[in-house]
């Protein structure tokens, strides 16, 4: 399959029109129906990277805090993902259920996450039997005191 490219066309008012090509020659009518348009080809991967699209396909914008779900796999990359997201000031809801079968690995991952939060100034707490809430620096999780029964 031919490599996809994106063709950005500049018009007179500096707006961009993006045209994705998949190795097929397309006819250009810019010179017939008006002013000749400037055309340049760029790599799709570079264009998407410049948009700020992350691994999940979401376009992220600076200055916006996202709430993101993450599933623990027990690998060190989990801690790297949490660190990166906390530095971007995102809030994480972590699913720890995949590690329930290995209590030692689960305890190890929670300790690593707790240390990461402490280093960055974030906070974490368990919000259900399977979920952990992790927030970046500047946010604190208030935990309710257990309700007293009469």
Greater confidence (12 vs 143) lies with 143
Segment 43-69, tens digit of pLDDT? 766 766 666 555 555 566 777 888 999
Name the burial class of residue 117, with classes exposed (0-12), middle (13-18) and buried (19+) by CB atoms within 10 angstroms of its CB. Answer: buried
Q: How do the domains of the chain map onto residue ranges?
A: 5-51, 67-135
Task: Find out whether 20 and 30 touch, Cβ atoms under 8 Å.
Answer: no
Does pLDDT of 41 surpass 50? yes
For residue 52, give every residue at least 6 positions away whose Cβ sits within 8 Å of its Cβ, in sequence order, or none: 59, 60, 61, 62
Closest CA to 110 of 145, 134, 144: 134
* CATH superfamily of this structure's domain 67-135: SepF-like protein (3.30.110.150)
Segment 74-115, tens digit of pLDDT? 888 999 999 999 999 999 999 999 999 999 999 999 999 999
Does pLDDT of 8 surpass 60? no
Range list of H helices, 71-133: 76-87, 103-120
State the chain's mean pLDDT as an integer: 74
């Amino acid at each position: 399959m031919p490599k996809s490219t994106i063709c950005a066309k500049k018009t007179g008012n500096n707006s961009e029109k993006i045209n994705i090509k998949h190795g097929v020659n397309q006819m250009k009518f810019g010179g017939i129906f008006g002013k000749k348009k400037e055309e340049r080809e760029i790599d799709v991967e570079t264009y998407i990277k410049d948009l700020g699209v992350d691994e999940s396909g979401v376009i992220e914008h600076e200055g916006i805090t996202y709430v993101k779900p993450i599933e623990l796999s027990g690998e060190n990359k989990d801690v790297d993902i949490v660190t990166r997201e906390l530095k971007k000031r995102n809030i994480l809801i972590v699913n720890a259920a995949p590690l329930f079968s290995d209590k030692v690995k689960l305890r190890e991952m929670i300790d690593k996450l707790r240390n990461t939060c402490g280093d960055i100034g974030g906070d974490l707490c368990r919000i259900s039997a399977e979920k952990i809430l992790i927030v970046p620096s500047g946010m604190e999780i208030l935990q309710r005191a257990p309700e007293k029964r009469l």
